[in-house]
Structure 1
């Protein structure tokens, strides 16, 4: 049971990332930052959609560290974008 759920999670995440890559390439909007952000959104969605109701397997407990790492990366991207928008001399 746990292996099936784990494979379901991995297949969902890989499918989301491939679809994101294809869509961004088709739109001509591919950048690593945008790919990272959309992949993080997909990771959070797939994590919630594949979550079991009653039991929390051990492998799912480790996902919180990946989520935390992704949110730190997202915060870094947001701060960089804000600093790029601000005029020089504001900070």
Structure 2
């Protein structure tokens, strides 16, 4: 039973990432940063959609560091983009 839920989770994340690559390539805006952000959003959506109601399995608790690293990477990308937008003498 647990293996089936894990597989469903992995299939959902992989399907989201493949769809993201195809969509970004079709739109002509495929970049590593954009793919990372869209994949992180997909990971968070799949985590919430597949969350059990009563008990959290051990394998789901191990996702927390992965999510934390992803959010830290997202924060880095946002700060870097903001610094690119600001005038040079301001920072």
Q: Same fold (TM over 0.5)?
A: yes
Trace 1:1-91 onto structure 2 (pairs within 5 A).
Answer: 1-91=1-91
Taking structure 1 as the reference length, the TM-score comes to 0.98
Gaps of 5+ in 2: none
Q: Deviations over 1:16-62 (max 9, x none)?
A: 00000000000001010000000000000000001111111100001
Matches of 2:50 and 2:8, distance apart in 1: 7
Matches of 1:15 and 1:23, distance apart in 2: 12
Gaps of 5+ in 1: none
Taking structure 2 as the reference length, the TM-score comes to 0.98
Aligned length: 91
Regions of 4+ moved over 3 Å: none
Deviation at 1:70, TM superposition (A): 0.3
> Alpha carbon RMSD of aligned pairs, Å?
0.5
Matches of 1:89 and 1:74, distance apart in 2: 25
